[in-house]
Every structure is written in C-alpha cells, then in structure tokens.
Amino acid sequence: MSARQMHLRVFVLGTGNHIAGWRMPDAYDSFQSLPVIQHIARIAERGCFDLLFLGDGLQAGANDHPSFTARFEPITMLAALAATTTHLGLGATASTSYNEPFNVARYFASLDHLSGGRAAWNAVTSSNPRAAPNFGRDHPPHAERYRVAEEFVDVVLGLWDCWEDGAIVADRATGRYIDAAKVHRLDHEGTYFRVQGPLNIGRCPQGRPIVLQAGSSEPGLDLAARTADVVFSVVQDLDEAKAAYAALKSRLPRFGRRAEDVAVLPGVMPILGRTRQEARDVLDRLQSFVTSTNAASLLSSRLGIDVSGFAPEDKVPDLPLPDTSHGFARAMLSKARREGMTWRDLHNLTGAARGHWVIAGTAADIADTLQEWFEGGAADGFNILPAWFPGAFDGFVDEVVPELQRRGLFRRNYTATTLRGHLGLDMPRSRYG
Amino acid sequence: MSARQMHLRVFVLGTGNHIAGWRMPDAYDSFQSLPVIQHIARIAERGCFDLLFLGDGLQAGANDHPSFTARFEPITMLAALAATTTHLGLGATASTSYNEPFNVARYFASLDHLSGGRAAWNAVTSSNPRAAPNFGRDHPPHAERYRVAEEFVDVVLGLWDCWEDGAIVADRATGRYIDAAKVHRLDHEGTYFRVQGPLNIGRCPQGRPIVLQAGSSEPGLDLAARTADVVFSVVQDLDEAKAAYAALKSRLPRFGRRAEDVAVLPGVMPILGRTRQEARDVLDRLQSFVTSTNAASLLSSRLGIDVSGFAPEDKVPDLPLPDTSHGFARAMLSKARREGMTWRDLHNLTGAARGHWVIAGTAADIADTLQEWFEGGAADGFNILPAWFPGAFDGFVDEVVPELQRRGLFRRNYTATTLRGHLGLDMPRSRYG
C-alpha cells in the first residue's frame, strides 16, 4: 500500500468530453441546466474527487464542440455549486487576456468564501483567436499573451494577500470594524497593469485560492512552475506523460519550489467495459457518432489551421502550425505523421478527447494503467474526462475508484474540508503578515 | 382593493444598510458568510419579495460603510443564491466603466439560466473615482461614463438577442446540435466597443435578464428611460419622490415606451416599533452607534469632497459639488441647507441610509405611508433597506408586508416563477427572431 495518494479531477463539459458523447442513449437530455451539473457534482463527491473543473472559452462556433458553443459561464456555475456541495474543490478557467486582474481576484476570492475554501482558478491566456473580435481587439501573439499572464497572475496573487487574517474586527462595543493596519495596498506598477488595491474582500479561507494551469509551451511551463499548485498535462502515452511530468518538476527548483508543491495531472478519457471487447465497442459507438463537419471544425480550431479542404481518406501531411495552435496540437500532428494516420483517424482522435489520452478496458485494466503512471513518474493523479454524462462518470466512480481505493492509491473518505487540504498543501501566509 | 400591485426589492448589505446596523445586539455575528445571505434570501421569499439586490463597488476604504469595505462579489453571491432559492428575483450591480460587455452579458445570461429566469443586472457607471487606480486608468468624467454606458448597455442587450429560441436542437438521431440559422452575430462597431458575438450561451429563460438602473442625473434618467425595466430612486420625501417618478415616466414616450414598462421604486429604510416612540428609540439607538470617523468618510465619499475638516456642530455651508458626486448628494446638501442642519445632522442622515428616506413608526404607519406614495404617483413599489439583518428585515416581512397584503396592495403568494413574471412584463422577442 502506497502512502502517496492520487488526486482526481473531473473535467466537466455538460454534453460530455467526447464531441458526440451527448448522442449516447443515457446522456442527459438537456445541458444548459443547473440540476444536470449539480448531479455531476454529486457523483464527484461520492467518488471523493479533489476537484470538479469547468473550462471556458470566449467565443461560440456553430460546428465547435457542443459544450463550447453554448455553455454556462463557469464562475457563476461554480458559485451555484458552492452552495450545494460540501467537500468538492471547484475550479474554473478565467482568461488573463480578456479580463481585469482586480475582477478575477474578486471572483475567485468570493468563490473561496462562498465554498468555505474550495475555489481554484485556472489561469489561461485564451489560445483561440476567435475570442478577440468579442473584445474589440487583436489577439495578442503567444509570447505576449504569456508576458501579460505572468504579470496578471502576480497581480491576482498580490491582491489575495492584501488582507491579513484578523483584519475584520467587528467589535460591537467600540464600533471598530476593520483593523486598518492589517489591510494593505498592493501598489502594483507593471508593464501591462497598474493596480493599487486592496481588494474589497477579506482574506480567503484557503489563504489564497488554488492556482491551476495547463500550458505546455516553454513560457507556459515557466508560468506553471513559478505560480501553479496543480498542472494539467495533455498527453497521448506514458512516454509523453513522463516527459511532461519531468519538464514541469525539473523546473520547480529554479523558482525555489519543491516537487511536492505542484501536482501534475495528465488528462485521460476512460472508456469502461465489463470486458475489453465491450470497452472497444463503446469507443467504436462513440466514434460512429462523430460527423465529419464537427470533427474537422474542432481539429481546425485545435491546430489553428483550416483542415476542411483535406479529404478524410488522405494521409496527414507535414504541416507548419501557427503560433496560435495548442501546444499539444503539435504532439498530435507528429503522432499522426509517425503512425501514418489519415485525416479521418486524426478527426476521431481529436473528436474523442481533444487530444487527451483515451484508455479503453475493464476497471482493473484502467486501474492498472493509472497505477503504472502514478508510480512510474508520470502523474500525481489524473484529470478524468468522461466521454459523456452521467453514464461514463458513474462507471468510473463506481468501478474504477473502488479499485484504486482497494489498492491504497486513493482516499476512501474526505479527510479535509478545503481543496488545499485535499491536495496536502500548506496554508500560505500573506506577504504582509 | 387595488388591482395594481406593489413591487418590493430588498437591498442587501450584510452588515445592514445603516452604517452601524451591525452593532445592534441581534445583528448577525459574521458577514462574509454564505449562510447569512441565504438566510436573508429566505426571509425575502417568505415575504414574497420580487427581488433581492446586491450593490457593488470596486474599491475598499477602511472608514467606509463596513459592507463596502469587505463584501462578497455580487455576481458569485447571486449564483450561489440561485441554487438555494426558488422564486426570488436576483439582482446585482456590474459596472459599465470597469468591465467588458461580452463578459457582463455572459454573467447575467448564465445567472438567468442558473436561476430559471430570475436574473437582473443593475447597470451602473461606478461613480466612485477610487475604483480607477484598481484598473490602471483615470476615472472618466460623468458625461463620458454615461456615453460609455449607453453603448455598453446596447451591446449587452444585443448579445442577449443573438440566440433565438429553439437554436439548440440536440437531435440525437442526426447529430445536429445547433440550428445555425437561429444564432446571429451582433457585429457591433461603436465609439467605445467593437463586439462581434454571438454570445456562447443559449437564449435566456426571461428572453433577456431584467435591467435595473438608479441614475438620477439627466443622462442617467435618459439611459434608464430607454433601457431599464426597473428604476430605483433616492429621495427624502413625498414631493421629491413624485418629482423623480414623473421625471422618469414622462421621459418614456420619447423612447417609444409606456409608463407600465418601467417600475419606479424609491428607497426606504423602515424603522419599526410597536409604538411610534419605540420606533424613534430604535432610530436613536442606531444613530448613537455612528462614529464621527465613519460617518464623515461615508459623507465625503457620497458628496465627492473631503468633509473631515468641518466641526460636527458647524452648520452645513453652501458648497460646490464636483462632477463625481452622486445625483442625490445634491438633494441631501440642499435639504441640509434648507433645514439649517449641522454636519452632525447630515452625518446622521447619511449614516442612516446613505441619503435614502427613513421612516420610523408602527407597521400601520409604515403601511399608510407606503400606500400613500404608491397611490399618489410617487412609486410602483419600494426598495426596502433594512437598517440591520435579520431583525429589521424580519420585522418588515412579518408586520408590514401582511398589512400591505390585507389592503390588497401586495401579493400573498408568488404567481409566477420568473422575475419578469413578478414584474408583469412581457417576454421580449429577439431582434433577429
């Protein structure tokens, strides 16, 4: 039995992570529905998950993944879940390119108070250039987005430190409400932002909300190594996962941090069957639901180039990718070239899990593989991407999680009430305290 | 019995609307607490209120109203309440000066979905110049803030129209998820904003969330007359209330709207006693809690000038007010001059209800006055500002509301499930539909 414990996050897209998961017969009937997401959250708490996560995007496209086209705004959705869950960490994406740091710091501080210390902010630079016309500006190039993000994250972390513990006195007898000596201005003057502070909300139950990141480029890894508590990697196999794990962990000492300060969670879409054949049949069924239109559109968006002109049966050629493509788009493209895939193969791979690793098998098979990765220097836990909801998630929680628990790899009950507690991270002190 | 029915909104500041309300013995013990606000929301639903409202500000000041210094971010708080209330309208402030219209449109559309059609956006221009240094810019002058706001509100209303009803098809058999013919780009190109759209969330349960406004300046009244569904007025007596009511209603035809399209709700702080003397004693007790530091600070912020140099016993002189002062600050100052008030008197008046009307009396007295205003062309209902929570709000709901119900002036039960329904407003059609 291993003392080290896995961390599990569920990645929630209401229609399922598989682009056509909503077509499964037992998928939910409606997706823009609070009860649906609340139901998913209850499954996650039943499975003792560390964290439920909602991604985000700032644009709609008719042929995109259905949950990218019409979706809840994630900060409001998490706040609703804060009121109806008790232990589950609650993470959401907010862009560093199309927001004000003062506003983002407030949203997540408020979420942390509302949830009693379960909030997490996924800082992203918004890779999709189609966001820009909704904000009346040009999409900044990759390098600039990361320079902005570095400063943006620093401002948010700084704003979260402005209030020390005990600053709110609320002494009825004297009428003294605030101890002004424990409330500090940030006075940040940088290249992209000038932010005076303080924030107008008291210190968070977690000290600071948890910071999530998923960048895989060099600047993305640097930002994550310097500021993140949890990092998500997008990988296709064990070797890639080990490389991504090492790339992040080896960078930590440069920023005065230890390996255990940051959890690295590769994404995985588990496709479960009572037998291996049944699992393969489920995957085949899901893939049969993919239409060429939506797969090509998703692939174009991921790669940052229009691939609708290629025929499905053509082999994927060696293509130059633009600056706006996802880091893992490069990995997918090189895998496709290496394995001699056609565009249809690549559509299917992307449509399934947007470039994440897909594993089909029995509960024991899946637990074996997760254990191998966890013990083999590839993962501190996993970012679980159910292909559809609720069926695929119920299956994971009811069959794979107990298998991991029997092996001593995962908690049987929550032992903390905050996300920081689930992650085993120390409470940070305010820089002013 | 009157067929016309009052609309009631409760203005929630956790520590109470009175600057020192939190010092009352039965006030809550802690204020940055979800259960406290949930409790207030339950009282409001018990009283069949149309709407619970959270104001906002984008700065903290140690001597400000305690609930302005450390507060929940209101959009997240409303989302949490959406999950734990069933009928109550949920309104919050979001600034048109320090936000992106695409983001604001999403927050309130998402809230409308989360709450099943109960969201309301209070569009404010942020009068307090102390917000500006938190966003690295200069505070725009009043006239420019309103020019920005006019365009900002138009963009938000336009984004809410981008999706027609029925745009989400989600046909499992064919794999068609979106009917792209029912999703429209906004393509707004204005002076301050360029926003392409569409929004990435389907049409709201209310068609569009309800729009609230409270401006009392000429540009504020024009914006409200053109775009608001509910307007809050800040007045000190019946004559002022009638003038404010007429100023708004008379402006509506200019924008092709009818008097019944917009509800005007004056703010009132009811101070309840079993006798008139008991009510006056409660008010005296509240005023005895006001410290000179916090009253002067609040007054300085409202007037937009530093008044800390004046002695409390000095008469209020005739002072020029800057562009940044609240519209109703002018009314308070002229009242103080008219009535020969000292600075202490004006501190007390401001500290009590920030310039709103305060009425102390028995439940019957208060109901009499509300009825007189409602039937006398001064109000379509009221914005209730309990001096502290929960006691002052419980008192209003348990004693004044039943009195209004007996008189046939206010609903005994909810007859609709959306805020639009409570207000008796029609469902808007999309401009594209």
Where do the domains of chain A lie? 7-423
Contact at CB, B73 and A110, closer than 8 angstroms: yes
State the nearest Cα–Cα gap between A405 and chain B, in angstroms: 32
Q: How far is CA B106 from CA A58, A132, B38, B158, B176, in A?
A: 9, 16, 24, 12, 24
- Domain spanning A7-423 has what CATH number? 3.20.20.30
From chain B residues 379-398, the ones with a CB under 8 A of any chain A CB are none
Mean pLDDT in consecutive groups of 10 residues from the start of chain B, 433 residues? 85 92 92 90 98 94 80 96 97 97 98 98 92 94 95 98 94 92 96 97 97 92 97 91 96 97 97 96 92 74 81 85 68 82 81 83 98 97 97 98 98 97 95 88
Provide ipTM, 2 decimals: 0.94
pLDDT of residue A1: 41
Q: Tell the residue number behind the tokens 């320090």, with chain if given.
A: B98
Q: How far is CA A289 from CA A349, A387, B58, in A?
A: 13, 12, 48
pLDDT of residue B120: 98
Contact at CB, B134 and A202, closer than 8 angstroms: no
Interface membership of B168 toward A (CB under 8 Å): yes
How many beta carbons lie within 10 A of that of residue A268, not counting itself? 23
Query: Which of B73, B133, B175 is facing A106, going by the closest CB pair?
Result: B73
Contact at CB, B98 and A98, closer than 8 angstroms: no
Q: In terms of CA atoms, which chain A residue is nearest residue B69?
A: A200
Interface membership of B285 toward A (CB under 8 Å): no
Q: How far is CA B335 from CA A1, B46, B215, B324, B329, in A?
A: 77, 37, 19, 19, 10
Interface membership of A32 toward B (CB under 8 Å): yes
The whole-model pTM stands at: 0.94
- Cα separation, B248 vs A360, whole angstroms: 65
B387 within 8 A of B357, measured Cβ to Cβ: no
State the nearest Cα–Cα gap between B28 and chain A, in angstroms: 11
Q: In terms of CA atoms, which chain B residue is nearest residue A181?
A: B62
Positions of chain A with pLDDT lower than 50, given as ranges: 1-2
> Which residues in chain B have Cβ-Cβ distances shorter than 8 Å to A103?
98-99
> Which residues in chain B have Cβ-Cβ distances shorter than 8 Å to A93?
none
pLDDT of residue B1: 41
> Which residues in chain B have Cβ-Cβ distances shorter than 8 Å to A19?
none
> Which residues in chain B have Cβ-Cβ distances shorter than 8 Å to A30?
170
The torsion of the CA quartet A266, A271, A276, A281, rounded to 10 degrees, works out to -140
**H/E/C letters for each residue in chain B?**
CCCCCCEEEEEECCCCCCCCHHHCCCCCCCCCCHHHHHHHHHHHHHCCCCEEEECCCCCCCCCCCHHHHCCCCHHHHHHHHHCCCCCCEEEEEEECCCCCHHHHHHHHHHHHHHCCCCEEEEEECCCCHHHHHHCCCCCCCHHHHHHHHHHHHHHHHHHHCCECCCCEEEECCCCEEECHHHECCCCEECCCCEECCCCCCCCECCECCEEEECCCCHHHHHHHHHHCCEEEECCCCHHHHHHHHHHHHCCHHHHCCCHHHCEEEEEEEEEECCCHHHHHHHHHHHHHCCCHHHHHHHHHHHHCCCCCCCCCCCECCCCCCCCCCCHHHHHHHHHHHHCCCEHHHHHHHHHHHCCCEEEEECHHHHHHHHHHHHHCCCCCEEEECCCCCCHHHHHHHHHHHHHHHHCCCCCCCCCCCCHHHHCCCCCCCCCCC
pLDDT of residue B323: 65
From chain A residues 304-363, the ones with a CB under 8 A of any chain B CB are none
- Domain spanning B7-276+356-422 has what CATH number? 3.20.20.30
Phi, psi of A137 (to 5 degrees): -140, 175
